[in-house]
Structures are given as structure tokens and as C-alpha cells.
Chain A
């Protein structure tokens, strides 16, 4: 059967044999060993970009997915249509009354149009449009066969992959995460002829480097994964992950415990092996004297091993490693790995013993040789500032003498571990080692604990000790204000000094601990510690710092599920005290689900709307004549005597709330919850304003022509606003949004 002439049959029909059926596509980019992050990211992009590319190319495709191993990125499409969809283009020509004569025959105008469009006059279609009837030339450009479309599409997909770090190799100009060495492109049983990075696509792939060094020839796209399996490659990362975690558990069980499966290390390991095989090894018991964190870091960070612990959570002198390959020679591999770990642990032991020759406190002076951040001086200066800031915090929070002394000591020692050998070797142990050495030096437990926790929060882990929380916040406040005063700001995605992360840490800790602390005061103290004198620079740094903190608080509250308008209403009333602002947001968000909320909102909204900007006035009781005036006045006076309402309005009273309710370990730990209750109670009382305010606006003309009457009425409304406004600027609440959702 001759090939169909274009246009004589609809796309994809009237063909015979397998080629008119949808076919499976495999496109594999074979590379040298990819960095794990590039392998994960490459597969993600390959899939996402392929979905868009197939769509744009009008090539129907179903079951699009992508996989990666250390040596390949693979796109698999279960069903690719045999042909691209036809492109139908309708071009409008002359109006029908011009195109056809009274006899219904095409006029010269119609013939000319058809000729210009390259279609037969008889094929012109008459269609209705809003402007009347017109003729249309409808041209159908038949879709190309899938193989031809893919020949152009697949190289573009490969080119479109973007890696954070790309490289060139040889004499080529292509940039990719690592050199591209082969391409496999199969549509059904046929090779899709294409080229990328100077490599022509074929049906060859490669298996495991060592277990199957020779090429694998894949006869059909359907046989791809199986061919890889025969070449000792598991294509699907999730299958490798399952094998790794199950294998690690088994190997650790044989060693008498269970593996510590650090999630990041598991992710990384998945992309380091094509054919995972877990095995356990051992190290000498004597190394168990080293701190647990050191052992885990040596195993995970340097050797990519999983540590093993027993049922009681104690480390065992064992590790689990994942080999890339099968079981052949496994005892030799185990021995080699044990031998390397022994040398590593001997190094760590050497560093640890060297470090222990000198007390931590004696290292503080060496910090003068260590730069903190280029424009912000040395770590010695940083430690001195932290000590000063510790004293400011003592004053601001009214810390007991013992806690204050411990905090000052912890601040002084906080950075000393940066000049220890262990931390130079394992920078991620900063803080942790300082805590360990401080304890061994006989420093008080709270001091050691605070040093240890100063870099928290990391991920979800917050400082557990009050002193650790203080030090963590002081450290970040110092960084933030120092950088802002030096004119360094975070912009867009650029935040090289980690200022946003610092602000986020401050918010998380301050809210968690419930401190009654005006951040502006602490920020100001930080500028004093830097001896920033220029008032403009001070003002700018303070403003930027407070904005950043408020922005991070806003993000945190919204992430907690509070609607953005609730958060904005609360923040408009100030967020200097981060814990207090959090309590107001939580209270208001819960209160919005109650029917009384509309009462409070209406009272505030109507009163605030009519008040001229900046209005202040005294209520003169004797001038209140109308019953509606008197009723509202009575309600206002009654509410003003309520303690909860007074508390809500007075920052000083708020600050104290919750004090004493917390434990000695966390003096203000219960403060946020107590404040939420207090604000909720206040809001409940304030709902009583609804009815009298409503009546007031119905019965009384606020803008009375008599200036004295008018001023008195405005003063009354101002009192209404003044009771609510310290909680939130309710005019920012969007009614109808964030409204009570049933049963939530």
C-alpha cells in the first residue's frame, strides 16, 4: 500500500500494521556520574518540560514520566500517538454576499481569495460570524509522523534542562551537569533519529560500570527497563530507595540494632548507586568514647554510612554502607570500608584529644584571627558584642542574676569552638562541639546547653533551653542589625548573608518562648553594640530590621493557616512584641468564626470610617442628649472598666500576662496561650458594642451642623475605635473571606 497522500485521509487513520497504533517512547541521556541533586532535578525537569513540549507539538502522549540513576536521565512515555494532530487553520475571506452571486455561484472575489489561499474554490466554507456571513478557506496541515516530530522535540528537551552548575567537556560547546556519553531514543521498535551534545541517538545503553561493562542493545522501547535490569541497573529511584532502606534495616539488624536513616543521606545514596547492596561493618569499641555527634558526622558526612543504634538509642560500634553492586567480594568491600572508617575515627580522636588539651575559654582570644562576615569584623568582636547584648536582654526581660550570669558566660564562649580542630574538620558540628567541650571543662550545664543550641532552629528543631533560645536570638539579632547597618540587605533571591533565615529564626524562637520583649529595644541595643552612631543609619537599619521581622512573622502566621487579612489587620496594630502579635492573630482568627465577630467588626468599621484622620477629642458627658448617644456612652464606660479590655489596650499590662505561669525552664512558655485567652475574652466583651453603635448611627446624625455636638459624637466613636484598635485594625479584614468555614 502506497503512503497516503496528505489530505486524502484523516490523520492517523487508514493505516495498517503497528505504526498507526500509539507506541511507547524511551529517551535516555547517558552521562558520566551526575551529582545526586542534578539527577533528581534533571528527571523532574525532563518530565515537566516533556508534558509542555508534547502539548505544544500537538503530539498526544499519555503516561509521561522520568527517572534517573547516577548515569542516566530517562524519559518514558507509555503511549505516543502515531501522528501529530492536524493543524486546522481557517482564514476569513470576503463576505458571503460578495463571494457568491445571486445565482449562488462563486464570484471572482471568491475565486481570487481561494487562489491566494491555495485551496479549491469549491472547498470554501460559508460560516456565520457576529459580523454576518463570510466565506472561509479552511486549510488542514496534516500532522507529521511522531518519529519526525520527536526527532526535533527530544534534543530540545535535552537542551532545555537547566542545572545550577553546568560544565563543558572536550572541544564541545554543550553545557550539561556532566558529560553526555550516549543517547537512546526508541519509539516502539524504531530509533528516533536525533542528536544532542554531538552524540547520535541509537538503541544502545550501558549497564552497571563494573558488573556489565559492555553495551546493552535494546530492541524495543518496551524492553528498556528489563534490559537495564539485566545490566544490573534499577532505573526507578523509588525501587532503589526501597532496596536501600530494607537492606539497611536487615544489615543493621544483623549487627544488633537499627540504622539511623538520615533522610538527606538516603536521598543522596539513591542517586549514588544503580544496583544497591547494603552491608554492615564494625569499628573498635574504644571509639564509642567519642561524642555521639562526632561519630555520626564522621560516618554520614565523610563516608556516607548510616550509623546503627540499639533499642535504647545508644550507638553501636557498627555502620551500614550501601555498595554500588552485588554481593561479589562483599567481605573485601566491608574490610576496606572498615579500614577507612578506622583511619577517619583515629583522625577524629586525634583532633578531639588535641582540642581537649586546652579549655574552651582559652580559645576565645584566637577568635581575633577569624573573620565573622567581611564588613563586620572578627569572631572575637562578635563574641564581645554578644556579651553586651546579653546584658541588654537581662535588662529588657528582667532576668534573674544567675540566668544573666550564665547567659553572659555562654555568649563569651559561644564562638570559641570555631577554632577547634574538630570544627575545622567538621564545620557542621559548630555549637555542638562547643557545648560538649564546655561541659567537659566543667562549665555550668545551662552554659553548655546554650552554646550547643545557639544555631537552632535548624529545620523544625527549636532550642529546648531558655538560655539556648536567648543565645540563638542574640546571635541572629547581631548578624541582622550588623549587616543592615553596613548596608547589606537581602534582595530577591539574593541573601548571601542569610538575613532572611536569621529573621525567621528570631521570630520562631521569640514566639515559641513567649517573651514579653519589644524587638525594637533589642535591635537598638544591637546597634549600640556595633557603635553605630549616625542617626540616619540607625533609623534605616532599625526600620529594615523591623520590616523583615514583621514580614517573617506574617509568613509564619499565614503558614499556620491564619488568613492573610486577619494577619494584616493584627500587624497593622504593631508587631514589636512578636509573641503578643501572634496571640492577637490566633485569638482574632478563632473569633472570626463566631457570630459576635460581625458585631465587633461592624462597630469598629462604621466608627473608624467616619472619624476624620487624626481626630482626638474628649467626651463631655453632660452634652450627650440623645438616648442612642447615652446608651453607647454607657456601654463604652462599662467596657472600659473591664480588666480584659484594659489589658488588651495597654501594652504594659499585656507584657506581664502569663508571667509566672511558666516553668523555671521557660518562664514565659505559657504567655502566648494566656494572651490568646485574654484577647478572646476582650473580643467577646467588645461584641456588646454592636447594638449601641448600630442604633447610634441610625438615630443620630454624627456630622451635626453644631460643631460642639459633632465633636462630642466623634469623641464617642473614637473611644470605640480605641478599645478595638490595639488588637487589630479590623478595617483590613475582608468580610466574606476567611469567614468561618463550617466545622473548621
Chain B
């Protein structure tokens, strides 16, 4: 199974289980959770099921293309099920079978892992899923988003498709993965890892980044004041990415770190509150939806 076969199999599997196949968000984000299809949709009472690939940027994890496991940009396959169904775990396990993993031949574990994102004011309880000692998935029941308790709990399943493909292909170096017949992950992505690592650790201009953070933060606040929640949220995501770059660059002291995270969290909270207000004004449209039965 190639890397892209893994992604395609997951798309088909979750499409058949009532998920909207969303597309990656077109901004730099650190995780699939930050996609509005998860962060905003899990707020409020409306049902929602979606699945999508999300390229995830973690500038501090860049290793110039030299480390066999760490990447500054990698992929998440994200599934969000709202409300969390009774058979969420079974659905997940079944998805592994569609990846032709015969679980009787392997060791599957759900290891306690409580998840928290302090820049988003988000938290949940769940597990890291281990297969033969390899972490392949994060499985989380969201409890809070944007600092708001969730009345309807969503299950979030975040696959690490590289890890799964490495597992299936028996490759201990991510760059050796066969992405598509005849071409590897490394051939497609290594240059990007080298250049972005160089950018994040050496070339990024700190005064420019600081200026961007302030500008994006101001813009987010201004847009929130005008009740434009989705554009505002985009700017929160931009703040978050700039923060990650500053952090990778080693430019953030500890006190400042807490302060920047707090500013980002405050904006995320305002977005969450405004989103709820806007959806309510719209009459919670998905509560009436016929096309998207959970």
C-alpha cells in the first residue's frame, strides 16, 4: 500500500460512514484540530461528521530532512464525529482493517492520553493508539473548545498517515516511504523540509514576525468587533503560526511565551463565542439538515 493508497482508503472508508470529505484548510496550521471544520463545528448543538487530510506545520520539529521520524510539516488524517457515536472505537478499528491490517497478527493498545491545546483553550480525554508499540493515532473526546464546555461531545480521530504507511511498508525512515508507485516521500518533500528548517531556525526575521503577530492580532480583534467570525478566526490561525515560528527561532522567552499564548487563547475564545452567537442567529442550520444524517 502506498502512502497515497492509505489516504485514499481512509477517504473512502469515512465517506461511506456519513462523513463530509472536507479539504485541507488553506492556511498554515499546527494540527487538523485548528481547521474550522473541527474547531468551530464542534461548538454548539449541530451534528457534524467530517474527514480530511490536513498538512500540519510544526516549525520547531523541522530537522533539515535528516531525522527519519521528525518533520516540520507532515500530514494528519482527521475525522470528527459529532456527537460521538457509541461505536466510535469500533468504527476506528474497522478502518484499520480496511488498511489491510489484520489485528490478530498485531498488538493494538489504547493508552491514556489527555489532550490540551493552551493556545486554543481546548481539551479532551482519550488515548494514543499504539500498534506494535508505534503510536499511529490520537483519539480524543473533546470536552472544551475555545474555553467553552461542549454540550455535545465530539470524537476526534487523528491518524498519522506517515506512521501508518511506514508500519505497512516496513520503512523505518519516513523519507523512504513509497508515496505513489515509483516515487518516494523523500523525493517529493525533502527539499521542502531542508528549506523550511533553514527558514524556521536561521532565516526567519524576528522583528518582521513580531510585527506580523501584532498586526494579525489587531486584525482579528477588529474583525471580531465587526462580527466576522470566519475571517477573524483565520487571523487567529495566522497568529498561532507566527508564534510557532518565533518559538522555533528561539525568540520567545518564557514569560513572553505565556503572554503570547494567553493573547492567542483570548482571541480563540472570542471566536468560539461569536461563532455560537452567529450560528444561533442563523437558526442552527445543521440541526435541520437532511443531507448530512449522522
Give A contacts to B, CB under 8 Å.
Answer: 32-36, 70, 165, 167-171, 178-179, 181, 209-211, 272, 303-305, 321, 323-325, 328-329, 332-333, 335-337, 339-343, 346-347, 350, 368-371, 378
Besides the known contacts A209-B108, A337-B107, 11 further A-B residue pairs in the complex with CB atoms under 8 A apart: A33-B109, A168-B141, A170-B85, A170-B152, A209-B103, A272-B111, A333-B132, A336-B131, A336-B133, A340-B133, A378-B254
Q: Are A209 and B93 in contact (CB under 8 A)?
A: yes
Please pick, from A169, A323, A333, A337, the residue contacting B141 in the complex, using a CB distance under 8 A: A169
Chain A residues near B133 (CB, 8 Å)? 303, 305, 321, 336-337, 340-341
Nearest-neighbour CB distance to chain B for A269, whole angstroms, equals 11
Contact indicator B84/A170 (Cβ below 8 Å): yes
Binding site for A on B (CB under 8 A): 67-70, 83-86, 89, 93, 102-112, 114, 124-125, 127, 131-134, 141, 143, 151-153, 155, 167, 170, 172, 250, 253-255
* Contact across chains for B112 and A35 when beta carbons are under 8 A apart: yes
Report Cα–Cα, A342/B132, bound state, in Å.
Answer: 13
- Complex Cα gap A135–B108 (Å): 71
The 8 Å CB contact of B103, one of A35, A36, A171, A210, is: A210
By a CB distance below 8 angstroms, the chain B residues around A209 are 93, 103, 108
Q: Considering only CB atoms, which chain A residue lies closest to B174 in the complex?
A: A343
**A178-B125 contact, Cβ under 8 Å, with A32-B89, A168-B143, A336-B133:** yes
Q: List 15 A-B contacts (CB under 8 A).
A: A33-B109, A167-B141, A169-B84, A171-B83, A178-B125, A181-B86, A211-B104, A272-B111, A305-B133, A336-B131, A336-B134, A339-B134, A341-B133, A368-B253, A371-B254
| A178 CB, min distance to chain B CBs, angstroms | 7
**Docked complex Cα distance between A366 and B65 (Å):** 26
Residue numbers in A under 8 Å from B155 (CB-CB) = 169
CA distance A623 to B134 in the complex (A): 92
User: Which of B110, B172, B254 is the one whose CB lies under 8 Å from A370?
Assistant: B254
Contacting pair A328 B68 (CB below 8 A): no
With A32-B89, A36-B112: A333-B107 Cβ-Cβ less than 8 Å: yes
Instruction: Establish whether residues B111 and A371, one from each chain, have CB atoms under 8 Å apart when the complex forms.
Output: no
Question: A324 contacts B108, CB within 8 Å?
Answer: yes
* Shortest distance between the CB of B243 and any CB in chain A (Å): 16
The residue from A165, A211, A336, A337 contacting B125, defined by CB atoms under 8 A apart = A165
| Residues in B whose Cβ lies below 8 Å from that of A178 | 125
B83 & A170 in contact (Cβ 8 Å cutoff): yes
Cα distance, A370 to B256, chains bound together (Å): 11
Complex contacts, A36 vs chain B, CB 8 Å: 112
Cβ–Cβ < 8 Å partners of A323 in chain B: 107
Please determine whether B172 and A169 come into contact, CB atoms closer than 8 angstroms.
no
CB of A465 to closest CB in B, whole Å: 31
Specify the chain A residue showing the minimal Cβ separation from B66: A350
State which of B102, B103, B127, B172 has its C-beta within 8 Å of the C-beta of A33.
Answer: B127
User: Is B134 in contact with A170, judged by CB distance below 8 angstroms?
Assistant: no
Please give the distance in Å from A190's CB to the nearest CB on chain B: 26
For A342, the closest partner residue in chain B by CB is B172
The closest CB in chain B to the CB of A281 belongs to B133
Nearest neighbor of B143 in chain A, beta-carbon distance: A167
Give which listed residue, B70, B141, B143, contacts A179 with CB less than 8 A: B141
Contact A169 B153 (CB under 8 A): yes
With both beta carbons as reference points, the residue of chain A lying nearest to B108 in the complex is identified as: A210
Q: How far is the CA of A189 from the CA of B131 in the complex (A)?
A: 39
Residues of B within 8 A of A171 (CB): 83, 151-153
Docked Cα-Cα span, A445 to B169, in Å, equals 48
Contacts of B106 in A (CB 8 A): 329, 332-333, 336
Within 8 Å by CB of A170, from B86, B103, B170, lies B86
Q: Report the nearest A residue to B110, measured CB to CB.
A: A33
Assembled-state Cα–Cα distance A323/B68 (Å): 26
Selected contact of B104 from candidates A167, A210, A304, CB within 8 Å: A210
| Beta-carbon nearest neighbor of A331 in chain B | B105
| CA gap between A90 and B218 in the complex, in Å | 77
- In the assembled complex, which residues on chain A have CB atoms less than 8 Å from the CB atom of B132? 332-333, 335-337, 339-340
Q: Given the complex, which residues of B lie within 8 Å of A34, measured CB to CB?
A: 112
B contact residues around A337 at 8 Å (CB):
107, 132-133
Determine the chain A residues whose CB is within 8 A of the CB of B111 once the complex forms.
33, 272, 304
Q: Flag if A339 contacts B172 (CB, 8 Å).
A: yes
Complexed CA–CA distance, A328 and B105 (Å): 6
Residues of chain A lying within 8 A (CB to CB) of residue B151 = 171
A340 to B170, CA, bound (A): 11
The list of the 10 closest CB pairs from A to B, nearest first, reads A336-B132, A329-B105, A33-B110, A35-B112, A337-B133, A371-B254, A340-B133, A167-B125, A323-B107, A210-B103
**Residues of chain A with a CB closer than 8 A to B152's CB:** 170-171
| Cα distance A337–B172 in the bound complex, in angstroms | 12
Q: Are B68 and A343 in contact (CB under 8 A)?
A: yes
Residues on the A chain within 8 Å of B93, using CB: 209
User: Once bound together, how far apart are the Cα atoms of A567 and B122, in whole Å?
Assistant: 50
Which residue among B85, B102, B153 has the maximum number of chain A CB atoms within 10 Å of its CB?
Answer: B153
Q: Which residues of A contact B167 (CB under 8 A)?
A: 336
Whether the pair A347, B67 counts as a contact (CB closer than 8 A) is yes
* Bound Cα distance A168, B126 (Å): 11
A277 to chain B minimum Cβ distance, whole angstroms, is 9
Contacts of A342 in B (CB 8 A): 172
Q: Which residues from A are CB-within-8-Å of B250? A: 369
Contact call B105/A347, Cβ cutoff below 8 A: no
